[in-house]
Amino acid sequence: MIVVTGGAGFIGSAVVWRLNQLGVQNIIIVDSFKPEGRFWNKGESKIEEEILYSEKWKNLVNLKFFDIFDSEEFGQMCSHDFLKMSGVETVIHLGACSSTTERNFDLLLRNNYEYTKYLCEKCMSADIRFIYASSAATYGTGEHGYSDDEKVILNLKPLNPYAYSKQLFDQWLVQNSLTDKVVGLKFFNVFGPNEYHKGDMRSLVCKGFDQIKQTGRIELFKSYSDSYANGEQKRDFIYIKDAVEMTLFFWQNKIVNGIYNVGTGIASTFNELVKPIFKSLNMPENIEYIDMPENLKSKYQDFTQADMTKLRSAGYKNEITPLSEAVSDYVENFLNKSDRFLS
């Protein structure tokens, strides 16, 4: 039995999809489907409060799995030895509060640090493999580089509360000499199908596709660094299919442990990211550079590039999809189709 927390989310549902392709259906999904917020809808005659419900259940419709539990309920079940009694052999913990703009650090601390620590300890005590999601956001401005070496990890200085909540757990593992017992995955900029429920946290490809279809143009943030022209800021963009293959490498190779980058090892510009969208839609390129919100300027990463040496040395040999091919696949086979979901 395999548990995938955050199994209805973006990366989690893609992991379940790939497991299904490999013939695996003995999967327990763990996630939260609580309302994601409230907003005021001003109609012609009155103002009504509307609840924003989660749409990520749609990611599950095409998938096969054994059972599904709410994340809070699952935490309580684990306190009664559910993992051991159910024959769970691997927990892939991808569930988290993943908004990089979330300011409620109490929420982040409980979801991203304390809950992760709780599950990790439960798994280690029951000799169950534990694979969890960290984030490349922990690298901050990159002043220490982008190596997943443990000495580097201890010195990172994240730029936002979300990244710091992820950094706390990475540090806890390293400081307690536990990285030889679990696997941590520092995901870089992942994009691809099944991210549609993420709102503002969707990838630029997803949001840009909708912009281009509606207006014929795409908006990118202006650069505020002398080192980069507009749209030439660089990130390590990785397609969801490649991120999933790297994740499941550790499920298939149980003797490999530690904290690893999940990226391509190539820094690409935002201009390079969006141009294949226009090409796939047979539309002329039309990029507009807009001002960045003030609250993002001090937290913005102008450059990220995963050091993939450690993962390759661990035995991962798969080729990584080139950026233009990945964007084209996403646009042509998902975003521009009536059924956008992995199946």
pLDDT digits (tens, 9 = 90+) for 250-259: 999 999 999 9
Establish whether 146 is a catalytic residue. no
Residue of 58, 64, 117, 198 marked active site: 198
pLDDT digits (tens, 9 = 90+) for 173-183: 999 999 999 99
Tell me if 177 is assigned to some domain: yes
Q: Within 13 Å and on the Cβ side, how many CA atoms surround 163?
A: 20
* pLDDT value at 166 more than 90: yes
Question: What's the rounded Cα separation, in Å, for the pair 87 and 1?
Answer: 6
Residue of 115, 132, 139, 162 marked active site: 162
- The answer to whether the beta carbons of residues 277 and 205 sit under 8 Å apart is yes
Q: Which of 91, 82, 75 is nearest to 27 (CA)?
A: 91
Once rounded to an integer, what is the mean pLDDT over residues 80-84? 94
Tell me if 178 is assigned to some domain: yes
Establish whether 317 is a catalytic residue. no
If one counts the domains in the chain, the total is 1
Query: Quick one: DSSP state of residue 200?
Result: G
Which pLDDT score is estimated for 16?
98
**Residue 239: beta bridge partners?**
191
* pLDDT value at 36 more than 70: no
CATH number of the CATH domain containing 240: 3.40.50.720
Please give the model's pTM, rounded to 2 decimal places. 0.94
Tell me if 342 is assigned to some domain: no
Tell me if 85 is assigned to some domain: yes
Tell me if 343 is assigned to some domain: no
Which pLDDT score is estimated for 8?
97
- The answer to whether the beta carbons of residues 321 and 330 sit under 8 Å apart is no
Range of the domain at 14: 2-335
Which pLDDT score is estimated for 39?
54
pLDDT digits (tens, 9 = 90+) for 38-61: 555 655 555 555 667 889 999 999
Backbone angles phi, psi at 206, to 5 degrees: -65, -50
Question: What's the rounded Cα separation, in Å, for the pair 51 and 284?
Answer: 39
Alpha carbon of 192 to those of 240, 244, 283, 311, 328: distances in Å?
Answer: 5, 11, 21, 22, 10
Q: What is the average pLDDT score of the chain?
A: 94
Tell me if 340 is assigned to some domain: no
Tell me if 124 is assigned to some domain: yes
Question: What's the rounded Cα separation, in Å, for the pair 243 and 246?
Answer: 5
Which pLDDT score is estimated for 52?
72
Tell me if 198 is assigned to some domain: yes
pLDDT digits (tens, 9 = 90+) for 117-139: 999 999 999 999 999 999 999 99
